[in-house]
Chain A
Amino acid sequence: MASPRKKVIRFSRLYSFSCFRSSFGDEHSQIGLKGYSRVVYCNDPDNPEQILPRYPSNYVSTTKYTAINFIPKSLFEQFRRVANIYFLVVACVSYSPLAPYSAYSVLLPLMLVIGATIVKEAIEDWRRRKQDIEANNRKVEVYDRNHGFQIARWKKLRVGDLVKVHKDEHFPADMLLLSSSYEDGICYVETTNLDGETNLKVKHALDVTSNMHEDDSFKHFKAVIKCEDPNEDLYSFVGTFYHDGQQYPVSLQQFLLRDSKLRNTEYVYGVVVFTDHDTKVMQNAIEPPSKRSKIERKMDKIVYVLFSLLVLVSLIGSFFFGIMTENDIDDDGELRRWYLRPDQTTAFYDPNRSALAAFLHFLTALMLYGYLIPISLYVSIELVKVLQVIFINQDIDMYHEETDGPATAKTSNLNEELGLVDTILSDKTGTLTCNSMEFVKCSIAGVAYGSGLTEVERVLAKRRGDALDDSEVTSSTSIQSDDGMAPGKSVKGFNFHDDRIMNGQWVNEPRADMIQKFFRVLALCHTAIPEVNEEKEILYEAESPDEAAFVISARELGFEMYERTQSHISLRELDHESNQKIDRPYELLHVLEFSSNRRRMSVIVRNVENQLLLLSKGSDGVMLERLSENSQDFVAVTMDHVKRYAEAGLRTLVLAYRELSKEEFSLWEKEFLNAKATIGIDRDALIEAAADKIERDLILLGATAVEDKLQKGVPECIEKLEKAGIKIWVITGDKMETAINIGYACSLLREDMEQIVITLESPEMTELEKKGDKEAVAKASRESIANQIRRGTRLLSSSGGRSALIIDGKSLTFVLSQNLEDPFLHLAINCASVICCRSTPKQKALVTRLVKKGTGRTTLAIGDGANDVGMIQEADIGVGISGVEGMQAAMSSDFAIAQFRYLERLLLVHGHWCYRRISMMVCYFFYKNIAFGFTLFWFEAYASFSGQPAYNDWYMSCYNVFFTSLPVIALGVFDQDVSPRLCLKNPELYKEGIQDILFSWPRILGWILNGIICSVVVFFFTTSSAVHQAFRGDGQVLDFEMLGVYMYSCVVWTVNCQMALSINYFTWMQHLVIWGSIAVWYAFLLIYGAFPPLFSTTAYQVFIEACGPSPFFWLGTLLVVVSCLLPYLLYRTVQTWFFPMPHDIIQLWQRGTSDDRNGKLREKDTLLCK
């Protein structure tokens, strides 16, 4: 820090719009009132008011639990699930004599299940805690009156502390900017972490504090800030700064947000205003809306169905139990079933109070048939989804080498939802395109330069079948592979090829002077800052990629901007006489920045020849109005070029300049500075008016065309997704022409499609608008849109073919606010593709909601910028592109991918698989529990519904945990119906998901029915085969214990073999878990049966002594298992033969072509197949 005032630049003077002086507004009157009660005593740690622990220290904790509350809180979280409560109640009641089985046998699985979930919570929380520790222990310099600035940890910071932050450091808390290394107290901050915007923002300290540039200047500094209470609004701050008896208003201009980064500024001094959870960033860190997948919601319904079934079955049992119990003593007082001692019994079996007994039995039955509700379903699904997510994250085919970006699933809730997507709502810039702007063409003085074909042109030409040399097309495509990073000498942002201009050849062009001026405008009219890196290369720090592209192309063509100071911009130019590079400084007088309102930008400079120049660039419409009346002959030609560029999918800007006379300038400057100095609401308008005055009578130079390249693979991806039956809506802020052309380029629109355009840009509307009668305009607009929609609907039904709907933002506003949603939606969903252009972020979210609510189908929103966050959060699934525009979209998304084309794999492969796996898994879960639970019920029917379970307690409690859990998890994690290559090759497979046929009610009920059939077969085959007579050669008969083992073995075999029959993909793992589960059952029998009888009770040596040696036992098992599975096998056979589902066909085809073995599909095989 040799000289802190090394850079003495008063940038604040240049920024006309963004560096206003704050003024007292309405909000300031509220200071001290409710919502504005915060008082900060700056640099006054001994102040008694400040010592009071009113505000927390800066220790940040984002963890859900602490060491103390972990157990109770996590348990509470667990028992918020209905199913878990049911099992907890069951576990508690099982200590009472009501229970049909011992309490431990219920508690153990419940504890296992809940324990697993709690461990998962603990691990997640531990990760969060590690992040917190890291953040809390970062270091920052804090002012201590006695010792100057000292290093301290972030967590030690307190409200009112003075803090010094250096270049490229993060702000530890929300702070008020006091001064910076710059003379006038400005600084640059990067807020990528907060809003995803990569451009730098300028902050401006109060004049009163901006002169404190030294560490010691704070020795006697004291001030008080009164400001608003913590809130989550990132874009406002209201406060008053009291210093030396004066009041100064402070606003967002002086406010530095935690987690944003100091850039291009050596250091700043600030005072901490908000700490910890009071900071805007933390206030914003609310949980993103938690999304649940449709399947899970449906699953809840199935659980309710099963609950009803459970109650029904219990009621039936209780009814018969009541009757039987009542009959135990007949009317004469004689005991019927005397061996039950009905004369001397408890309430549970009392014939005299049979209604009560029946009711108590009902409770018992609810517990007994609890096996109908799969206790481990939720935890298994959670586990499976976490594992699926690992596979998604690990997919090497979704890894993007350039950005080092793998696919990341932020949540594991929505994996299977990926297989159900009906509509994709996509942003354009940065999502379909790379958002890396490249200068490709320009038109100077009516001559078009730039020979390369744009991607859009290429695609369009290809589609028209133009006689484009095929090899040329492919070769140029391959050169431009991967985001336009051509090999060799390629320069990012520059993709311009024209020998007439490049390498200094422009000198020989007829209008060389115009060309020179043109590139000077490019090199001067911007706000980029040059930075020299280690390799002596000049890099530019620009607000937007467009701007960077301009400066870079100016450099490439010989107008290199190499230095920018407060007052000068220096260019290194090729002189067109001496043909040598000379340095030319320009004095920078004013910058009239770009704003979306003005849609133009100008600078006023003085060159070496002492000429005053106004250099402007802006959108064609705005600039056209400002050209001088007696303009050049080539205006029309240039505009024609601009139109053609727009059609080629390029972003255009028109460049113009004007020479100012000294008098004119000084006159204007006075007015302008006056306007800048005004305080008040109309200040903006005044400045704009002043700017407007000078930006006129411009002389046209030409137009630039910047290409935002389509990302690699986008057209192919969109084509695939369309084939998969997914509708794609593009919602963009671009112009209609650009949007339409991009639509063509990415095969969203085709030549054979009928275009239905809804727009308000008709001459009549413009006429009306000019009159200024707002009400009339609104009315007419509504009429017009309603008409257009009606016409569109007619057109759609008459054409019968594929149509595309294009609507602009203005019309969309009316559609969304004027009750036109329904006809619009009706029209839109019948169109093959929809493009909404010129739409705002809010409209993006509203359209998403409209589609989601209106169609009830699954929507997926994909975007990359902060303006897509609303849409991403609104949609059922939000996908963020972790790309150029920062991380905001990726952070708020459910899945983040690096490129749009990975969406294809994410949906068609992973989505399809996950949907299939989860729906299979859920169906199977219900099947296996019903198959088991109903055997208990049939047995009850033969045990006078007394509530005696057919099996040993521990068999039952281990059923869900040990004997059937792993195969179903393996199904959920590993099963693949079709290889990924074929998934991609046959996108129609995806329709299984859109139509939800794998998780439809008939299918679910079919599985439930299959479960019931299996239970019937198991019970009646086992009992009728073995009950009276001896079942062994030594004359022994089958008793209660052995029947349990016999039936249970049949159930374990059946459900596991059913699994083997229903999965499509056998690796060693499937073999291991399926056959392993069966083996575990026998191992369990052996081990458990070896314990002393007091523990093992009915299982004591039952297998080794009684069942194992009996051939009958094994024959019976085989018979039952085959009988259970045969119906399913036949059903599947008939289905695959006569009513094949898409995946059946593809599977057979895959087998026929045996492509998975050869890796590549051979053409010959395809032919053989047909």
Chain B
Amino acid sequence: MSSDDVSSLPSKKVSRKPIYSRFTQQELPACKPILTPALVIGILICLAIIFIPIGLLALSASENVVEVVDRYDDACIPSTNQKVGFIKDPATNKTCIRSLTVPKKMRKPIYVYYQLDNFYQNHRRYVKSRSDRQLWSPKSESSTNLCDPEGQTGDGKPIVPCGLIAWSLFNDTYALSKNDAALQINKKDIAWRSDRTHKFGPNVYPKNFQNGPLIGGGKLDENIPLSQQEDLMVWMRTAALPTFRKLYGKIETDLEANERITVTIQNNYNTYSFNGKKKLVISTATWIGGKNDFIGRMYMAIGGTSLVLAVIFSLLYVFKPRPLGDPSYLSWNKNPQ
């Protein structure tokens, strides 16, 4: 109450008139987009004009990609009921030879991937089970608190690299040959540069890895620093979905159409416990990446839909015009006095 007294004192008599400005009066210049027929038809036609060519481009790029996929998990194992026993037994011979035909000429670089299925690299327990600190710095060797149960060996020594991700490292190997001549698979630079230079330390060497009672996946050479263990880096970039491909290596020569390629697989990795499939993928890449029809088709679909709708709306606009924006449509103007 007292404040009002003060403001009403004559000594403080300042006009309380609001100051005019376009901002305070909410009169800023503005564009007011309205969905008029012309605008909508225009938008739809623009969409069609942009989307259909992009779709065609993407489809043709995808068409240029040559991809060979070979599922080998069921073929590279004796057809017994003891698949898991077989794969877990270190003594069995797991070599498996597959032969592939190149359908079309493949230009270098040709990428070799392995594809796993039903493998939840995105499981919360799995994703968290790593120590970035330890991977980067030899001093932080013992920061393994997130890595259990693969953080330390039975006698308390830290495992480097620790955690479930590293422990379950994929360890099938592929050796390719063409006409009995070995095809070199280049495993350099298959990991991201940032991983090699900033995440996996050049002074960090594997220690006590896969020494536990339960062997998970592949082993690491203790004499090579982590910054050069590219397979590990690729593996440790966890996949987003349970079906995923990871880069295995690159072939730096062209492959001709109908050439037969022999793949010698060391089928070590256990996907049989969880019914996961394993596939070997050999593919080229273009600007859009690997073989990918989805994006091209979707672009075509959206562009096509827009075009059809634009036509429908135009026809409606021409043949059944509605007087839009007529205030007499408003109910209170229907009966003018």
Interface, chain A (partner B; CB < 8 A) = 100, 131, 134-135, 170, 193, 259, 281, 285, 334-341, 343-345, 348-349, 390-391, 393-397, 399, 401, 404-406, 723, 887, 891, 939, 942-944, 946-948, 950, 974, 976, 980, 986-988, 1021, 1023-1044, 1064-1070, 1092-1094, 1097, 1100-1101, 1105-1106, 1110-1112, 1115-1116, 1119, 1122-1123, 1126, 1129-1130, 1132-1133, 1136-1138, 1140, 1142, 1144-1152, 1156, 1169-1170
Contacts and interface: CB of A to CB of B under 8 A. Distances in A.
A1027 B289 contact: no
A1027 B43 contact: no
Given A1100-B194, A1112-B295, A1037 B247 contact: yes
B2 interface: yes
Given A259-B1, A336-B274, A1148-B36, A401 B327 contact: no
Interface string B265-277: 0000010011000
B199 A1029 contact: no
Interface in B288-332: 288-292, 294-295, 298-299, 302, 305-306, 309, 313, 316, 322-332
Contact of B240 (A395, A406, A988, A1040): A1040
Contact of B123 (A946, A1021, A1044): A946
B33 A1115 contact: no
Contacts of A390: 24
A470 B237 CA distance: 87
Contacts of A942: 122, 240-242
Contacts of A1041: 237
B104 interface: no
Interface in B48-74: 51, 54, 58, 67
Contacts of B58: 1115
A1146 B327 contact: yes
A1041 B239 CA distance: 8
Residue of B5, B40, B237, B325 with most partner-chain A CB within 10 A: B325
A1068 B295 contact: no
Interface in B24-52: 24-26, 28-37, 40, 43, 47, 51
Interface stretch (B109-117, B175-183, B221-229): B109-117
B240 A1039 contact: yes
Nearest to A1061: B33
B216 A1069 contact: no
B286 interface: yes
A368 to B, nearest CB: 10
A1156 B313 CA distance: 28
Contacts of A1068: 28
B142 interface: no
A393 B18 contact: yes
B331 A988 contact: yes
Contacts of B92: none
Contacts of B1: 193, 259, 281, 285, 891
A1149 B325 contact: yes
A1152 B33 contact: no
Contact of B328 (A394, A1030, A1129, A1170): A1170
A339 B119 contact: yes
Residue of A344, A390, A946, A1116 with most partner-chain B CB within 10 A: A946
A1025 B322 CA distance: 41
Given A193-B5, A259-B1, A1137-B324, A391 B290 contact: no
B105 interface: no
26 contacts: A193-B5, A338-B216, A339-B168, A340-B125, A391-B24, A396-B25, A942-B241, A944-B123, A1029-B67, A1029-B290, A1030-B111, A1035-B283, A1037-B245, A1038-B240, A1039-B238, A1066-B30, A1094-B132, A1100-B198, A1111-B287, A1111-B288, A1112-B288, A1140-B324, A1145-B325, A1145-B329, A1146-B325, A1156-B32
Contacts of A980: 26
A145 B324 CA distance: 86
B289 A1110 contact: yes
B237 A1149 contact: no
B81 interface: no
Nearest to B199: A1093
B291 A1029 contact: yes
Q: Which 7 A-B pairs have the closest CB atoms?
A: A1148-B325, A1029-B290, A339-B168, A1035-B111, A1043-B240, A1030-B290, A948-B124
Nearest to A1119: B298
A1137 B37 contact: yes
A1067 B28 contact: yes
B194 A1029 contact: no
Given A100-B124, A1100-B199, A1028 B26 contact: no
Nearest to B14: A404
Nearest to B295: A1025
B203 to A, nearest CB: 16
B32 A1065 contact: yes
Contacts of A1070: 30
Contacts of B217: 339
B148 to A, nearest CB: 8
Contacts of A1123: 298, 302
Nearest to B85: A334
A1024 B32 contact: no
Nearest to A1038: B240
Residue of A134, A948, A1038 with most partner-chain B CB within 10 A: A948
A1129 B43 contact: yes
A1115 B54 contact: yes
B40 A1025 contact: no
Given A943-B124, A948-B123, A974 B26 contact: yes
B287 A405 contact: no
Contacts of B15: 404
A394 B25 contact: yes
B330 A1036 contact: no
Given A1037-B113, A1145-B326, A1146-B325, 5 more contacts: A943-B242, A1030-B289, A1040-B237, A1040-B240, A1137-B37
B298 A1021 contact: yes
Contacts of B273: 334-338
B136 interface: yes
A1169 B327 contact: yes
A1092 to B, nearest CB: 7
Contacts of A1040: 121-122, 127, 237-240
Contacts of A1027: 240-241, 243-244
B287 A1033 contact: yes
B246 A1037 contact: yes
A1076 B37 CA distance: 29
Contacts of A1142: 330
A1147 B198 contact: no
Residue of B1, B168, B270 with most partner-chain A CB within 10 A: B1
